[in-house]
Amino acid sequence: MIAPTLIESALRTWRPATVLRPGDALHAVAVGLYRALVEALPAALRPVTGVVLGSLEDASQRVSVTLATPGDPVIVLSPAAVADEVSHACTLAHEWVHVGQIARVGRVQTAVDYLGSGELRAQREADAAAVGLWLRYVLTGELPETAPTLGDLYHLSTDDAALARAVIASHLDTIRAGALPPLDVCVVLAQWLHATPREIPADVLARVPRVPS
């Protein structure tokens, strides 16, 4: 197994972010911020944003989040995310997709898109979920037969949930075809895995297509 901290180092070289794990001094502070964020929202916005942020506070034992801050993004990992090394690595990769989205779209626009559009939330969470599935496949060889449905956490309508499932289905078909999902995080990790072959088990490396540099 590849240590999740090595994967974190590879991703941090690409896009800097701060990772908070359960037990870290700042972890409890960050989780407490969810409630403060909801309470600080103007009342008119709460029906839109409070429902998402409020559920994050309640679900902080099993849900990891990436927060766009004035500095580097902050990734708050849940206890469930660090329960085993594969989940730990896959959750880091999932959250780093959001770090990339923040870098590409901008902090404010990322928040506006995420909280203001179920369609954009569905598309972005689907890409992030697909990266987690891809890395789990690389590390274990396991790939789901069909695209999973994103949980209730993201408060997606039926139509938006179907969009998310379709995006994940596309990425699963890409993996089955033997190609790399067209996602920045997959490219970063694929290049890193092939650049450090002595530390990577051969069966893992065999599941990672080479990509143009």
Partner 1 sequence: MRPILLCLLLCLAACPKLPPVSGCTPAAWRCSPDGRPEVCSASQRWEPAGDRSCASVGAVCVVERTAHCAPAFDASTDASEVTP
For partner 1, the binding residues (CB under 8 A) are 100-101, 104-105, 108-109, 112-113, 116-117, 119-120, 123, 126-127, 130, 159-160, 162-163, 166-167, 169-171, 173-174, 177-184, 186-187, 209-212
Least distance in Å: CB of 49 to partner 1?
A: 12
**Full strand arrangement of the beta sheet holding 65-67:** 18-20, 74-76, 65-67
Residue 66, strand partner residues: 75
Which residue, 146 or 202, is less far from partner 1 as judged by CB? 146
Token output for 122: 């569905």
The residue (of 20 and 167) whose beta carbon lies closer to partner 1 is 167
Q: Do residues 186 and 131 lie in contact, with contact meaning Cβ atoms separated by under 8 Å?
A: yes
The CB-of-92 to partner 1 minimum distance in angstroms stands at 18
CB-nearer residue toward partner 1: 57 or 119: 119
Contact 65, 154 (CB under 8 A): no
Q: Which lies closer to partner 1 via its Cβ, residue 51 or residue 179? A: 179
Asked if 56 and 65 touch (Cβ cutoff 8 Å), the reply is yes
Contact in structure between 121 and 154 (CB atoms under 8 Å): yes
Contact (CB, 8 A) for 93 and 131: yes
Report the nearest approach of partner 1 to the CB of residue 83 (Å): 28
Task: Supply the minimum distance, in Å, between the C-beta of residue 68 and partner 1.
Answer: 15
